[in-house]
């Protein structure tokens, strides 16, 4: 079968007859909070607010989970996609340690929530490995381990032999990451939306927000059904839209690419380790490799500045095939296996590689979730909890690590 470029396997393989449809609003509800963005972050936030007894409405410009979430890797990782040593230099040891601890808590709590809600999202336990593929990367890995241990964070250095046994990768050394799980992010989004609606959240699709104005007392948000006056607007679009173009200066706009193979034959799978680890190498840009459904390899990486719309389709084809070639150099036994899917994942990158979660002084009544550049989806749940604490005025000390003021 030819490669399906520009299509998300999560959405493409979901039965069309089972995709829920949330109506456009005919009349505007009286709510305390409006959420803009119906991806995994928006739906997790809608659930968190509804479960806390807050009247909330979510507005998605298109269909739930078919934007940025559709391109996600589906990995709930126990730590950010950043080097602790680099983050420590930029924000200090205390803030960096808080960020890592908050990320780990979020990964555990997110997994527990999906299980408690019985969300059918193909949740599977996964160990995490950072692999150094050459001596230069091994030196960087040892430096990273030293920085983490000095901050009181667990970090076990592994020999190349251990990495090879677990992931069948010819590595010089490895670092044991915090274990996590893998999921189907689209199914998780729909499951959280359903759970939020059951708690009283109002969810509206094909309802773009066209304008927001505010005074000292309130904010007005213009929707297809008219204006809505609010005391709180949460923007969970992942990056600033043109409604918030003044905030775009905080970010670099990048695109990562992913390729998912056709099923790997059983004989070859038997030579590729335990197939239970998510592996990140230290390339520039790095690769993140995971198994999907036990028999398909998925690789994410090849990050570049987001191309113009005119060049986007060409970039997907080129980068997806480049990833498959690079994957075959890591796993030579898969040479000749074709990609089933190749797709793009745009994201906004911050200087510290940590997201901005919370208020901005130039936008009263707003809370933002921007700049999650991690290939994992842990940040979606983390954002939902940080934003709820900001709204309730019950901030945690660790929340400062994700503020615009850092």
Reference 44, options 208, 231, 185; nearest CA is 185
d(CA 62, CA 38): 8
d(CA 368, CA 379): 13
Determine the pLDDT at residue 292. Answer: 97
Determine the pLDDT at residue 178. Answer: 87
DSSP 71-104: G---EE-SS-SS-HHHHHHHH-HHHHHHHHHHHH
Determine the pLDDT at residue 98. Answer: 96
Determine the pLDDT at residue 71. Answer: 96
Contacting residues for 237 by C-beta, under 8 A, at least 6 apart? 36, 37, 39, 42, 370
Mapping DSSP to helix (H, G, I), strand (E, B) and coil, where does residue 312 land?
helix
CA angle 13, 15, 18 (to 5 degrees): 145
Decide if 223 contacts 207 (C-beta within 8 A). yes
Q: Is 168 left (phi over 0), alpha (psi -120 to 50) or beta?
A: left
Decide if 203 contacts 58 (C-beta within 8 A). yes
What does the DSSP 8-state code read for residue 174?
Answer: E
Decide if 209 contacts 65 (C-beta within 8 A). no
Query: What are the structure tokens assigned to 211, written together?
Result: 């304008």
Determine the pLDDT at residue 26. Answer: 82
Angle, helices 378-392 vs 93-116, to 10°: value is 100
pTM for the whole structure: 0.96
Within a 10 A sphere around the Cβ of 311, how many other Cβ atoms?
11
- Looking at the chain, the number of H-run helices and the number of E-run strands are 10, 20
**pLDDT tens for the 406 residues of the chain, in order:** 799 999 999 999 999 999 999 988 888 889 999 999 999 999 999 999 999 999 999 999 999 999 999 999 999 999 998 999 999 999 999 999 999 999 999 999 999 999 999 999 999 999 999 999 999 999 999 999 999 999 999 888 999 999 999 999 999 999 998 889 999 999 999 999 999 999 999 999 999 999 999 999 999 999 989 999 999 999 999 999 999 999 999 999 999 999 999 999 999 999 998 888 999 999 899 999 999 999 999 999 999 999 999 999 999 999 999 999 999 999 999 998 999 999 999 999 999 999 999 999 999 999 999 999 999 999 999 999 999 999 999 999 899 999 999 8
In the block, tokens 């989004």 appear at 189
Mapping DSSP to helix (H, G, I), strand (E, B) and coil, where does residue 16 land?
helix
Determine the pLDDT at residue 1. Answer: 79
Determine the pLDDT at residue 202. Answer: 96
Determine the pLDDT at residue 154. Answer: 81
Determine the pLDDT at residue 302. Answer: 96
Within a 10 A sphere around the Cβ of 403, how many other Cβ atoms?
17
Within a 10 A sphere around the Cβ of 4, how many other Cβ atoms?
15
Determine the pLDDT at residue 25. Answer: 84
Buried b (16+ CB within 10 A) or exposed e, 189-209: bbbbbbbbbebebbbbbebeb
How are beta strands 56-59 and 33-36 bridged, if at all? Answer: parallel
E strands, 209-295, in order: 211-214, 219-223, 226-230, 233-238, 252-261, 277-281, 288-292
From residue 354, give the alpha-carbon distance in Å to each of 81, 90, 127, 156, 378.
8, 11, 22, 23, 12
Output the CA torsion sign for 359, 361, 365, 370: negative
d(CA 398, CA 104): 12
């Amino acid at each position: 079968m030819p490669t399906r470029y520009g299509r998300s396997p999560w959405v493409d393989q979901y039965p069309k007859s089972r995709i829920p449809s949330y109506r456009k609003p005919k009349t505007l509800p009286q709510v305390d909070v409006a959420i803009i963005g119906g991806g995994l972050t928006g739906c997790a936030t809608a659930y968190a607010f509804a479960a806390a007894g807050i009247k909330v409405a979510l507005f998605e410009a298109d269909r739930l989970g078919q934007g940025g979430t559709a391109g996600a890797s589906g990995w709930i990782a126990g730590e950010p996609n950043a080097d602790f040593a680099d983050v420590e230099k930029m924000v200090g040891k205390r803030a960096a340690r808080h960020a890592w601890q908050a990320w780990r808590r979020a990964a555990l709590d997110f997994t527990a929530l999906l299980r408690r809600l019985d969300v059918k999202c193909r949740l599977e336990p996964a160990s995490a490995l950072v692999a150094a593929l050459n001596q230069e990367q091994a030196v960087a890995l040892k430096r990273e381990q030293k920085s983490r241990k000095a901050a009181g964070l667990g970090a076990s250095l592994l020999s190349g032999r251990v990495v090879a046994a677990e992931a069948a990768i010819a590595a010089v050394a490895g670092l044991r990451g915090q274990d996590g799980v893998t999921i189907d992010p689209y199914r998780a989004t729909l499951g959280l939306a359903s759970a939020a609606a059951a708690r009283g959240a109002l969810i509206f699709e094909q309802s773009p927000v066209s304008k927001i104005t505010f005074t000292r007392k309130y904010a007005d948000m213009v929707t297809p059904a008219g204006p809505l006056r609010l005391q709180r607007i949460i923007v969970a679009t992942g990056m600033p839209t043109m409604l918030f173009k003044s905030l775009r200066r905080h970010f670099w706009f990048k695109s990562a690419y992913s390729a998912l193979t056709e099923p790997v034959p059983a004989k070859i799978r038997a030579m590729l380790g335990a197939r239970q680890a998510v592996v990140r190498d230290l390339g520039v840009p790095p690769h993140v490799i995971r198994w999907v459904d036990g028999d398909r390899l998925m690789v994410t990486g090849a990050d570049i500045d987001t191309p113009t719309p005119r060049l986007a389709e060409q970039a997907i084809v080129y980068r997806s095939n480049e990833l498959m070639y690079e994957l075959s150099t890591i796993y030579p036994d898969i040479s000749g296996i074709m990609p089933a899917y190749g797709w793009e994942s745009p994201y906004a990158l911050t200087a510290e590689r940590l997201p901005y979660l919370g208020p901005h002084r130039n936008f009263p009544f707003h809370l933002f979730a921007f700049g999650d550049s991690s290939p994992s989806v842990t940040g979606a749940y983390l954002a939902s909890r940080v934003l709820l604490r900001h709204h309730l005025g019950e901030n945690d000390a660790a929340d400062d690590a994700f503020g615009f003021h850092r």
